[in-house]
């Protein structure tokens, strides 16, 4: 009779002692976890996102003339390319007084772009534009705009950036202004915002 071949075992692990084993010394042993008994009489807390009081479903009651428009860096650059005056074109689009707002982050982004975008910087420093101070760290304008719009629903966001548009569409009640066919257009703006209230 020949010698019987033993099948080799793959992926076998060394047997190790459990940390709760009695053979280990007391100081090395893992202590058993004690389950905390929950008080049945205690109230259960549940985290529910607080919806802003300014929204009636998708209708934003805080929006109305004069419109405050948060301007993004690329919106200014594309407006220059399309030879559009920012304030005048905004008024032509919305048929109402518009106040363009620039955050410190957007201003810092334009300054970082350098000498090539000096016209955009000059436009951004226009006295008709309202400057909004930023208290957070970093100068990433997209996060800044999204955060500001989530907190205060009184703004329209002017941008050409696809990713930023996608992020803002997820926030209810915030219209988006963009450039197409050499003019400004508005997205998600109900028709009766400008109408007088009865």
Give bridge partners of residue 183 from the DSSP assignment: 180
15-41 pLDDT tens trace: 777 777 777 777 777 776 776 777 766
Q: What is the pLDDT of residue 9?
A: 66
Which pLDDT score, from 0 to 100, does residue 23 have? 79
pLDDT value at position 195?
47
**The pLDDT of residue 186:** 93
Whole-number pLDDT of residue 44: 66
Residue 72 CA to residue 95 CA, distance in Å, equals 21
**Hey, what domains does the chain have and what are their CATH numbers?**
68-185 (3.40.50.1010)
Provide the pLDDT for residue 178.
Answer: 95
C-alpha to C-alpha distance for 84 and 88, rounded to whole angstroms: 8
Provide, rounded to the nearest whole percent, the portion of the chain with pLDDT above 90.
52
- Low-confidence stretches of the chain (pLDDT < 50) are 194-198
Per-residue pLDDT tens over the stretch 86-110 = 999 999 999 999 999 999 999 999 9
- Distance between start and end Cα atoms, the chain: 105
Q: How far apart are CA 169 and CA 166, in angstroms?
A: 5
């Amino acid at each position: 009779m020949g010698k019987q071949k033993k099948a080799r075992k793959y992926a076998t692990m060394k047997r190790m002692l459990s940390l709760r084993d009695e053979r280990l010394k007391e100081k090395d042993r893992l202590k058993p976890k004690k389950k905390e008994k929950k008080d049945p009489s205690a109230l259960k807390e549940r985290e529910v996102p607080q919806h802003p009081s300014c929204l009636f479903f998708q209708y934003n009651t805080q929006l109305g003339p004069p419109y405050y428009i948060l301007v993004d860096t690329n919106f200014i650059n594309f407006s220059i390319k399309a030879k559009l005056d920012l304030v005048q074109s905004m008024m032509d689009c919305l048929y109402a007084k518009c106040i363009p707002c620039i955050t410190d982050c957007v201003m810092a982004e334009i300054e970082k772009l350098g000498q090539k975008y000096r016209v955009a910087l000059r436009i951004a420093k226009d006295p008709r534009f309202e400057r909004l101070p930023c208290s957070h760290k970093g100068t990433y304008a997209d996060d800044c705009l999204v955060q500001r719009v989530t907190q205060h629903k009184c703004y329209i966001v002017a941008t050409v950036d696809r990713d930023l548009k996608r992020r803002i569409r997820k926030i209810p009640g915030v219209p988006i202004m963009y450039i197409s066919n050499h003019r400004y257009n508005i997205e998600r703006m109900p028709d009766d915002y400008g109408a007088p209230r009865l």
